Amino acid sequence: MRKLPLPAEYGVLCACEAGETEREQHAAAYAMLREMLRHRYGLDELPEILRTERGKPYFPAHPEIRFSISHCRGLAVCLLSDRECGVDAEGRRPLREKVAARVFTPEEQAALRRAADPDMLFTRLWTLKEAYVKAIGIGVSYPMQELCFSLAGDTVQSNRTDAAFFHFMPEGFAVSVCLLTA
Q: Domains of the chain, with CATH numbers?
A: 2-180 (3.90.470.20)
Q: In this structure, is the dihedral angle defined by the CA atoms of residues 62, 135, 168 and 158, taken in order, positive or negative?
A: negative
Phi, psi dihedrals of residue 30, rounded to the nearest 5°? -75, -30
Q: What is the largest CA-CA distance in the chain?
A: 49
Contacts 24+ apart (CB under 8 A), 25-32: 25/71, 25/72, 25/73, 25/76, 26/71, 28/71, 28/76, 29/69, 29/70, 29/71, 29/76, 29/77, 29/78, 30/69, 32/1, 32/69, 32/76, 32/78
Can you give the pLDDT at residue 145? 87
CA angle 161, 165, 166 (to 5 degrees): 160
Share of the chain above pLDDT 70, in %: 99
Backbone angles phi, psi at 177, to 5 degrees: -125, 140
What is the rounded CA–CA span in Å between residue 75 and residue 85? 19
pLDDT along the chain (182 residues), means of 10: 92 93 93 95 94 92 96 95 96 90 93 94 94 87 87 87 92 93 84
pLDDT at residue 54, rounded to an integer: 86
**pTM assigned to the model:** 0.92
